[in-house]
């Protein structure tokens, strides 16, 4: 029998599933919603900057730290000397090396200036929105209304209009990831490859995405693409080694060490981080408790390579946030919030298909079979 294509099967993975599968999926969805709605999603799980935190030019906390470092780099100072000095002044850890951000964003802001850097990020964000609109509009297997997902991208890039988020590395990296995913096509991965490499140069926590793309290239036996992802990995390793060496030259054993990343806040912390890092910050916690599981369900419904890639990225970073992120690390979620809520465009059809499967009458057992 010839293998059925995605088009023949339909885009909705939940269309026609068996009743037991529908029961399991809907039960899990209800459990996550109830858990979130009753679990106290909100600021108790998020540590925002306090008035006593480091301050600079109207900015507070991490925003002030990274803005001050960028200013010192703009003045001609070495990034690592500036970073070490500012971390010490603000009582921020310098050890281990992951406690200090890669220098890329500081150099971008120092080179372009704040205003031009903001315009640049806004341009990248606008391109990502248009990229998702075009992708969702032109996918032949998707319904026409799927293009509304681009509005959810736009709604969750509103932080680009606020100056303080210019200095948070996850914002820039998250915008680039959103664009890279919109452009991803297995047969032509080069634009995605270049953009993911740029995001990786800004924030090393993008590495799992590059590894995922490389894994799919191996599965597809696309050796050119696999070699490209390997080259990116090797360049990243070299850059990270240089970062570690440069940081070691300006730190001492008495410098503050990080308390570690062992938040273990679970599902409620994850929802709280998503709320604080997205448009949901303007709503009460129970709204996110309902919408986030629906968005994940929507992504699970899209039977396509891109749908699977985004779903795995969302699940992977959800696990990282639940297990490792501390309340002060809530903005890690900005790596995935630009694309998470696109799944809401697919959620109504997914729910409809599951309810239909649940309501489908059982097949009668023929008397001859008894």
Whether the per-residue pLDDT at 5 is higher than 50: the answer is no
Render pLDDT for 135-146 as a digit per residue (tens, 0 to 9): 999 998 999 999
In angstroms, rounded to a whole number, what is the distance separating the alpha carbons of residues 217 and 205? 20
User: Which of 74-83, 153-162, 283-292 is predicted with the least confidence, judged by mean pLDDT?
Assistant: 153-162
In angstroms, rounded to a whole number, what is the distance separating the alpha carbons of residues 79 and 83? 6
CA angle 295, 299, 303 (to 5 degrees): 155
Helices (H) and strands (E) in the chain, counts: 16, 2
CA angle 255, 261, 265 (to 5 degrees): 145
Higher pLDDT, 55 or 217: 217
- Of 258, 276, 207, residue with least CA distance to 48: 276
Averaged pLDDT for residues 344-360: 94
Dihedral of alpha carbons 74, 103, 166, 252, sign: negative
Render pLDDT for 175-186 as a digit per residue (tens, 0 to 9): 999 999 999 999
Q: Is 91 exposed, middle or buried (0-12, 13-18, 19+ CB in 10 A)?
A: exposed
Split at pLDDT 50, 70, 90, the class of 297 is very high
Averaged pLDDT for residues 209-229: 98
Longest dimension (CA), the chain: 88
Contacts of 173 (CB under 8 A, 6+ apart): 199, 200, 202, 203, 205, 206, 335
Neighbours of 109 (CB within 10 A): 25
Render pLDDT for 15-54 as a digit per residue (tens, 0 to 9): 999 999 999 999 999 999 999 999 999 877 898 766 556 7
Contacts of 226 (CB under 8 A, 6+ apart): 214, 217, 218
Per-residue pLDDT at 4 = 40
Averaged pLDDT for residues 69-84: 97
Higher pLDDT, 2 or 145: 145
Q: Rounded to an integer, what is the distance from CA 309 to the centroid of its chain?
A: 12
The DSSP result for 233-301, as a single string, is: HHHHHHHHHHHHHHHHTT--TTS-B---S----HHHHHHHHHHHTSGGGGS-HHHHHHHHHHHHHHHHH
């Amino acid at each position: 029998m010839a293998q059925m294509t995605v088009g023949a099967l339909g885009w909705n993975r939940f269309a026609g599933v068996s009743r037991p599968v529908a029961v399991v999926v809907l039960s899990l969805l209800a459990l996550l919603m109830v858990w979130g709605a009753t679990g106290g999603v909100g600021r108790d799980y998020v540590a925002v900057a306090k008035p006593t935190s480091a301050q600079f030019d109207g900015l507070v906390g991490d925003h002030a730290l990274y803005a001050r470092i960028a200013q010192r780099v703009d003045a001609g100072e070495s990034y690592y000397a500036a970073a070490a000095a500012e971390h010490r002044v603000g009582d921020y850890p310098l050890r281990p090396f992951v406690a200090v951000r890669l220098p890329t964003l500081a150099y971008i802001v120092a080179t372009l200036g704040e205003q031009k850097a903001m315009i640049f990020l806004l341009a990248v964000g606008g391109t990502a929105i248009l990229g998702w609109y075009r992708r969702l509009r032109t996918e032949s297997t998707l319904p026409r209304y799927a293009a509304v997902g681009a509005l959810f991208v736009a709604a969750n890039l509103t932080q680009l209009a606020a100056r303080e988020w210019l200095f948070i590395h996850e914002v820039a990296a998250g915008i680039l990831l959103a664009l890279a995913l919109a452009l991803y096509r297995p047969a032509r991965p080069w634009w995605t490859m270049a953009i993911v490499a740029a995001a990786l140069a800004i924030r090393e926590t993008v590495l799992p995405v590059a590894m995922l793309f490389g894994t799919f290239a191996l599965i597809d036996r696309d050796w050119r693409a696999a070699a490209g992802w390997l080259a990116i990995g090797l360049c990243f390793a070299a850059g990270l080694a240089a970062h570690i060496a440069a940081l070691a030259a300006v730190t001492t054993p008495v410098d503050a060490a990080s308390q570690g990343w062992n938040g273990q806040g679970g599902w409620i912390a994850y929802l709280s981080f998503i709320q604080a890092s997205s448009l949901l910050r303007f709503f009460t916690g129970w709204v996110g408790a309902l919408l986030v599981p629906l968005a994940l369900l929507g992504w699970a419904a899209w039977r396509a390579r891109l749908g699977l890639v985004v779903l795995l990225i969302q699940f992977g970073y959800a696990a990282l946030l639940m297990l490792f992120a501390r309340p002060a690390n809530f903005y890690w979620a900005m790596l995935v919030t630009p694309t998470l809520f696109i799944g809401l465009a697919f959620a109504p059809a997914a729910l409809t298909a599951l309810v239909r499967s649940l309501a489908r009458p059982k097949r009668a057992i023929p008397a001859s079979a008894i």
